[in-house]
Structure 1
Amino acid sequence: MADNDCLFCKIIAGDIPSTKVFESDTTYAFRDINPQADVHVLVVPRTHYEDAEALAGAPGELADVISAGVAVAKREGIEEAGFRLVFNTGEHAGRTVFHAHLHVLGGEQLGMFGRPGH
């Protein structure tokens, strides 16, 4: 089920252009328009879930999103050097789009996570 006002639902539907990296029956992956690493791909479930917490209620689809993230890392050639899979949920995490999505980041040395010095 899609949300007519959702940016990512519009991308999945093809109403808004994107640079597709990977797709399956349950997921769609595309390049982030504001990349935070040399490789920055978003993996979204085709079904609209507001965030990772809601997606956790559909464990099969959550597993599909994570599997798609690993497939993206392999396609992008970053699986051996290392990559990061990140869900942002809630205001403090910096979430800006209300459709669950997994960030696949890599292709360069990534900084430490969280606050500096911790």
Structure 2
Amino acid sequence: MAGEPQADCLFCKIVEGKIPATVVRETATTLAFRDINPQAPTHVLVIPKAHYPDAASLAAAEPLVAADVLTEAALVAADEGLSERGHRLVFNTGAGAGQVVFHAHAHVIGGRGLQWPPG
């Protein structure tokens, strides 16, 4: 069921403390941790603690938690010194868009030039 921890979800296991992560911020509803395969000098994932498969399902079911994810992403960017330099905030939705872990998450990416389009 959406919102409930999923036994086979990597990010649910991180939230539960079963898999270690380098946590940079935590609130009652969110967790932010460094990506283990960073695509830039700063690459932090911000996730809701509740399980939703993607950003759209999170926003539909829990708009306030979706807002918490965005707020925390902005605070991560500030903490990492990216607010002035700029950063990218990415939500991949679906395998065709590059989503690998099907637990809603935002990528906060920065610390180098970020060309557009990405790739």
- SS of the residue 2:12 aligns to: helix
Distance apart, 1:6 and its partner CA: 0.5
Residue 68 (structure 2) aligns with: 64
Question: Residue 36 of structure 1: which of 6, 14, 39 is its match?
Answer: 39
Distance apart, 1:69 and its partner CA: 0.2
Q: Is it true that 1:7 corresponds to 2:10 in the alignment?
A: yes
Letter in 1 for 2:15: I
Distance apart, 1:90 and its partner CA: 1.1
Letter in 1 for 2:51: H
How many pairs does the alignment contain? 115
Residue 21 (structure 1) aligns with: 24
Unaligned runs of 5+ in 2: none
Q: Which runs of 4+ in 1 moved over 6 A?
A: none
Identity score, percent = 56
Question: Residue 85 of structure 1: which of 71, 83, 89 is its match?
Answer: 89
1:99 and 1:51 mapped to 2: Cα distance?
Answer: 6
1:108 and 1:16 mapped to 2: Cα distance?
Answer: 29
2:32 and 2:95 mapped to 1: Cα distance?
Answer: 23
Letter in 1 for 2:34: R
Q: TM-score of the superposition, structure 1-length normalised?
A: 0.94
1:48 and 1:112 mapped to 2: Cα distance?
Answer: 30
2:117 and 2:30 mapped to 1: Cα distance?
Answer: 26
- Root-mean-square deviation (Å): 1.0
- SS of the residue 1:84 aligns to: strand
Unaligned runs of 5+ in 1: none
- SS of the residue 1:104 aligns to: strand
1:15 and 1:74 mapped to 2: Cα distance?
Answer: 29
Residue by residue, what CA displacement relative to the aligned partner does 1:33-72 show, whole Å, maximum 9, x if unpaired? Answer: 0000110000000000011111111110110000000010
Distance apart, 1:92 and its partner CA: 1.7
Q: TM-score of the superposition, structure 2-length normalised?
A: 0.93
